[in-house]
Structure 1
Amino acid sequence: MKEETGYNIYEEKIINKNKEEKEILEISINITAFMDDTTLISKNKKQLEKMIEICHQFFNINDIKANVSKYELIKINNEKEDLIIEGEPIKKTNSEEGNRYLGIFFRHDNKREVYKKKIMSIINSACNIFNWKKLNEKQIIAVWNIVIMPRIEYQLAAIVLKKWECDKLMTRINMIIKKRAGLAKTTPNFIIYEKDILGVKHIYDLQMEMLCKNLLYQANGNNKLQKLFKIKMIQEQKNLWTSKCPGELETLSFRKNNWIISALKMLNNEKIKICNHEIKDYKENHRIQGGKIDLIELLEEKDFATSIQSRKLKNIMFLEDILEVDGITLLKWKHLCKEQGLNTKGKMPKWFKNIESQLIEDETGQVRRIKNEFIGRAQKENIHVNYFDGDEKQDKSSIITWNDEGEYPIFSIDKKRSQSKKYKRIGIHLILVGDHYDLNNSPRLKECQGCYRNISKKKGNNECLI
């Protein structure tokens, strides 16, 4: 079936932030099928109707009858338009209990409670049988481990349960086994989970095994699975705005509609990581290049999540992004905004203040030189210099600076084009305030009242033109 009729997932992978190197990842999914269960996936109603028409043409050619009354529909972000096939409307649309596919119930809003209720119903059904059947604890444990747990494992393909949720689900079966084994209710649960004692399988342990297996399968599976896994990882990398691989981070949070990231979070809780960067990875093709120190290494945990939007808006990912050209001087917040061409209004964010207090050697903040431990680790790879061109049209009142040999930088407010053949443009001369020049901080400037550089014909008007 043509890929243009399917659901397209598109993402841009940042390879090198400073060099603006990117890689386009795109995947189209239009159909999944297993035996007689077929699912058509499309981004809108028109494309879905086209796909159904192609299927029905195939059915007619091969003398196959499809029961339209059994069709089910899941609509996401569109609850108004009804789907009518061969004059018959699809009735089972966005079912409250979920639409069943291969034994798993999917909801349009991906509500977790649906999957939890299904697992709970499996456990309750088993426990109800255990309660009235004359079985000893060993028989119950055998049925639980061999029959019930595989059914639960299958449902876990659609949800990642937290530790406390797994403990809660195990409560009823724990009580039944303790009662049949003649153990007190207060008996610690680890006794029945211990392999050498009773050996009851815990849902959480089962989930950990399954997550490791499934994540590795997705990361190393067929082309579409690999690409989908890669896209999800890149999306999370951008959501966190970090150069690091999400597989190596511990500061991940659960994602409602992202099974892969939620799975990584659970593995991280158990100190299990799918990416190992203790050994130098020369390719590092899943990390963003462009700097040596990622800002999240310097941010406190409380500032990490709250600063994401601010860092992303300012395009700040590395320590090098907030340093001056010399690589040892920290930019002021307003200068940083100015460098990015953004509005300088508003307060300095709290996360940047914390970075300042952590990096700047001078506690008074007068000298913005960073501490020695960070010098050398940071490397300013790309220095963006806008060279002044007298023939180009300049912004109104833009400040131009240049160096004369043996002197401090010269500053000027660009005013107009010169009529003289000797000069291209004329501007107002600016001089540094005070006798002491602090090269570690941005200078304070004032208009010069007149000096040897003045080219104005009117020498007595207290205006110095250069």
Structure 2
Amino acid sequence: MRYEIEHCFKSNVQSDQEEKLRINVSSQSYMDNVMWITKSKAQLEQILKIADEFNIMNNIQTNYDKFEMITNKKLDKDIVEVNFGSSKRMIKPLTSKESVRILGVWINLDLKTNYVFNQCMDIIKRYNKTISFKQITDLQMKYIYNHVIIPHVDYKAQLLVWTNSQTEKLNSTCRYMFKRKASLPLTTPNSIIHLSLGYAIKDINTIQAQRQLSRLYNQVISKGMMKDIFEIDCKQLQSELLSNKSPLATWNISLKDLQVKHYLLARVLALLYDNMLTIKSSGMRVNQIQGGLLPIVDICTHKEIFSNGINKGLKGKNVYFVSQLMSSDGIRLLRYKDLKHRTKINTQGRIPSWFKFIETKLIKDPLKSKKVKTDYQLEYNIHSVTTKIDNLKTKNWITTFHDQIGKPIIGHVLDNPSEDKIRIEHWIQDLENDQISPSVQLPILKKCGRCEVKTNQIRNKRSNTKVRCIASVPKKNRSDLYLRI
């Protein structure tokens, strides 16, 4: 008889461990109104079976005609058969765009505001029509607007956030009749109607901002289950925005630019941002995600991230930082197939649109070089993979960071590792075209003949002319920098 809220996330993008928040919420019941939330039709029928047994036991009658079902899933049929324990009913579920009434408040799963907006507009128009030919003073109209009409409108809209154009339409409808009955010119400045030094008619946009700010503040300082639910709500929105911090700490999106759907919290924060209102509390968590440099949201605008499914691709691969897509030196973007080793994601198939977008954003000419623009270059960030050195054998390939030249090298193990060092033969990438950066050419390796890496040279036994570049790599305290390939 309850529903479950859960969210999975990673507090560190480099970690494989995933954290999970889960809360069980009891069914909501108010006098003769009951609301059940389930994940499936089968779970709903199980709850209805228990409820039907309880009603029969206590001689409670159920009014099936008032039963409403709303779903965000696409159904094969318009009418669904639902088992109510001892009986079966044919019900036509409402779509996510349609609204349903719960205790006088109309809601829908898509957070559409048109239905309630039209209701509120009708409330104001009916009142205007009623007083149109009545003998009434301006102070009487002010009292009725501020203490009857506006609270009625405010109650219906408490789970919605209207745009500026919608609130202006409601305000203008109020002002028109007020100016007419008060014998004021229609050109009278609106500030005279709404300011406290004037008639002090409440502005619906201001009332909306005050209500949502108060509700959000109560959620921030709440305790118990409400606190846990709000924490999950914040983290779900943070994941949707691909932000490395809580949206309460770093919100800078206006209501007109907001691309996130189905998140009331996002619309509330956007409304407060437009009205230059913020919330600060000592108990507010930042929820900062660790393990990377240069967040994606710092190089892309909100609209760019939510265009062409970019956010879905990045969210699906758990990519929050640019450093997750870059080489260890912090100046080159990795190839998409190389992300299999860096971020451990499945890179089979075509290069996705989100990676192409990031590539065009960071790189000036992707066909010639993978070097990113100067503004996006990062500091050296060694991505280490731990492996046991004792497992290395002759002819194994390894890569390690070389302190002398300050960059990684590739080597071929010549013999079994000794107690203090490993002897490797240095190999380098064979460049077919010196006009194109090595980062975009095929990784073809060849033996290095002579370079600053060498510690000694020996002649190749098969040739009297070629030499081999041999390096001795210290084994002690370096196990975290070796990678067997």
Q: TM-score range by the shorter chain?
A: 0.7 to 0.9
Contact 1:193 1:199 in 2 (8 A): yes
* Equivalent residue for 1:258, pick from 256, 259, 263: 263
Q: Which residue of 1 aligns with 2:115?
A: 114
Question: What secondary structure sits across from 1:41 in the alignment?
Answer: coil
Q: Which has the higher contact order (CA 8 A, sep 6+)?
A: 2
The answer to whether structure 1 residue 430 and structure 2 residue 431 are counterparts is: no
Q: 2: distance between equivalents of 1:409 and 1:379?
A: 11
Q: 1:309 to 1:76 in 2, by over 3 A?
A: closer
2:343 counterpart residue number? 340
Contact 1:75 1:93 in 2 (8 A): yes
1:225 equivalent in structure 2: 226
Counterpart check, 1:215 vs 2:229:
no
1:72 matches 2:68: yes
Matched, 1:317 2:315: no
Structure 1: unaligned runs, 5 residues or longer: 358-363, 435-439
Q: Report the Cα distance in structure 2 between the residues aligned to 1:171 and 1:204, rounded to whole angstroms.
A: 12
Q: Single out whichever of 135-144 and 81-90 deviates more from structure 2.
A: 81-90
Mark the CA change 1:379 to 1:64 in structure 2 (over 3 Å): closer, same or farther: farther
Q: Tell me, what secondary structure is at the counterpart of 1:206?
A: helix
What SS is found at the alignment partner of 1:15?
coil
Q: Deviations over 1:227-277 (max 9, x none)?
A: 22222211121112121211221136154422111111111112222357x
Is contact 1:245-1:286 (8 Å) kept? yes
Gaps of 5+ in 2: 432-436, 451-456, 471-485
Give the CA deviation at 1:403.
7.0
Residue pair 2:325, 2:339 contacting (<8 A) in 1 also: no
Equivalent AA in structure 1 for residue 265 of structure 2: I
Paired position in structure 1 for 2:94? 94
Q: Which residue of 2 aligns with 1:237?
A: 238
- Trace 1:126-145 onto structure 2 (pairs within 5 A): 126-145=127-146
Q: Deviations over 1:363-390 (max 9, x none)?
A: x98987967x987xx684x732355858
SS at match of 2:385: coil
Change (3 A) 1:222 1:51: farther
CA-to-aligned-CA distance 1:338-380 (integer Å, 9 cap, x gap): 63354697597454554467xxxxxx98987967x987xx684
Deviations 1:388-423 (A, max 9, x none): 8585799xx996335789689653479xxx9x8899
SS at match of 1:246: coil
SS at match of 1:144: helix
Q: Do residues 249 (structure 1) and 251 (structure 2) align? A: yes
Deviations along 1:267-304, whole A, 9 cap, x unmatched? 1112222357xxxx899552223346534334456645
Aligned to 1:400: 398
CA distance in structure 2 between the partners assigned to 1:91 and 1:369 by the alignment: 58
User: Structure 1 residues 116, 256: closer, same or farther in 2, change over 3 A?
Assistant: farther
CA distance in 1, matches of 2:287, 2:448: 57
DSSP-derived class of the 2:289 partner: coil
**Structure 1 match to 2:10:** 14
User: For residues 304 and 450 of structure 1, do their structure 2 counterparts lie closer, same or farther at Cα, with a shift above 3 Å needed?
Assistant: closer
Q: Is the 8 A contact 1:83 1:89 kept in 2?
A: yes
Cα deviations by residue, 1:151-177 (Å, 9 ceiling, x for unpaired): 111111221101111001222211111
How do 1:23-42 residues align onto structure 2 when only pairs under 5 Å count?
A: 23-42=19-38
- Partners of 1:345 and 1:193 lie apart in 2 by 58
Residues 426, 25 of structure 1: alpha-carbon distance in 2 compared, 3 angstrom cutoff: same
The 2-side partners of 1:454 and 1:308 are apart by 55
After superposition, the Cα gap between the structure-2 partners of 1:145 and 1:465, relative to the gap in structure 1 and judged at 3 Å, is: same
C-alpha distance in structure 1 between counterparts of 2:91 and 2:370, whole Å: 71
**Cα distance in 2 between the residues matched to 1:203 and 1:282:** 31
Contact 1:398 1:413 in 2 (8 A): yes
Secondary structure at the aligned position of 1:11 is classed as strand
Q: Where does residue 385 of structure 1 map in the other structure?
A: 385
- Structure 1 392/206 Cα, relative in aligned 2: closer, same or farther at 3 Å? same
Offset at residue 60 of structure 1 (A):
2.9
Contact 1:320 1:379 in 2 (8 A): no
Displacement of 1:16 in angstroms is 2.8
Name the structure 2 match of 1:437.
none
Q: What is the one-letter code of the residue matched to 1:384?
A: S
Match of 2:476 in 1: none
Partner of 1:361: none
Report the CA distance between 1:215 and its aligned residue: 1.1
Note if contact 1:12-1:25 (Cα within 8 Å) is conserved in structure 2.
yes
C-alpha separation in 1, matches of 2:152 and 2:304: 42
Aligned to 2:166: 165
For 1:90 and 1:21, the matched residues in 2 are separated by 45
- Paired amino acid for 1:213: S
